[in-house]
Structure 1
Amino acid sequence: MTTEQFVKNFYQEKQHILHSSFDNQSEHRTLVSTKIEELSLNKIQTEKLKEIVSDLLTDTFYTILLGLDGAGSIGDSQESFKIFDEDDNLISESGDLEGLAYEYFHENK
C-alpha cells in the first residue's frame, strides 16, 4: 500500500460512514441511521444534518492522519509515527500524510 492509498482508504471510510448514517433503505441499517430517522426531519433539515456530520467526520479523520504524521497532536501528545504494512513495508513516515490528507479531505480529490 502506498501513502496515497493509505490516505484514500481513510477518505473512503469517512464516505462510507456518512452514507451508512443516512441510509434508511438498507436491511443492514446502522444505529446512527435509525436514530436520525427517529428525528423525523424534513428534507432540508436532513441535508443540513448530513453536512454537519460530514464536516465532523472530515475534521476527525483529518486530525487523526495529521496526528499520525506528527503534524498534529493525538490527545496531549504530538509525535510522528512510521506506518508499516503487514509485510513490514514502509507506508508513511513523518511528513508524508499531511499534504495528501489535505487534498482528499479539503480539496475533495
Structure 2
Amino acid sequence: MTTKEFVKNFYQEKQNILYSTFNYQPQYRTLVSTKIEELNLSEIQTEKLKEVISDLLTDTFYTILLALDGSASIGNSQESFKIFDENDNLISEGGDLEGYAYEYFHDN
C-alpha cells in the first residue's frame, strides 16, 4: 500500500461511516442511524445534521492522519510515526501523510 492509498482508505472509511449513519434500511441499521431516525427530523434538519457529522468526521480523520505524520498532537504528545503494512513495507515515514490528507479531506 502506498502513502496515498493509506490516506485514501481513511477518507473512504469516513465516507462509509457517514453513509451508514444516515442509512435507515433494516439490514444496514446502526445504533447511530436508529437514534437519528428516532429524532424525526425534517429533511432540512437531517441535511444540516449530516453536514455537521461530516465536518466532525473530516476534522477527526484529518487530525489523526496529521498526528501520525507528526504535524499534530495525539493528546498531549506530538511526534511522528513510521507506518508499515503487514509485510513490513514502509507506508509512511513521517511528513508523508499531510499533503495527501489535505487533498482528500479538504480538496474533495
Give the TM interval when normalised to the shorter protein: over 0.9
Look up the SS of the partner of 1:27 in the other structure.
helix
State how far apart, in whole Å, the 2-side matches of 1:48 and 1:102 are.
23
Q: With structure 2 as the length reference, what TM-score do the two structures score?
A: 0.98
State how far apart, in whole Å, the 2-side matches of 1:14 and 1:26 are.
21
Aligned pair count reads 108
Normalized per residue, which structure has more helix? 2
Q: With structure 1 as the length reference, what TM-score do the two structures score?
A: 0.97
How does 1:57-96 map onto structure 2 within 5 Å? 57-96=57-96
Over the residues paired in the alignment, what is the CA RMSD in angstroms?
0.6
Gap runs ≥5 in structure 1: none
Look up the SS of the partner of 2:52 in the other structure.
helix
State how far apart, in whole Å, the 1-side matches of 2:94 and 2:24 are.
40
Structure 1 residue identity aligned to 2:48: K
State how far apart, in whole Å, the 2-side matches of 1:15 and 1:28 are.
15
Look up the SS of the partner of 2:56 in the other structure.
helix
Aligned to 2:49: 49
Q: Extract structure 1 runs of 4+ deviating beyond 2 A.
A: none
Contact 2:20–2:28 (CA under 8 A) maintained in structure 1:
no
Displacement of 1:26: 4.1
Structure 2 residue identity aligned to 1:32: V
Identity %: 79
Gap runs ≥5 in structure 2: none
Look up the SS of the partner of 2:28 in the other structure.
coil
Aligned to 1:25: 25
Displacement of 1:28: 2.9
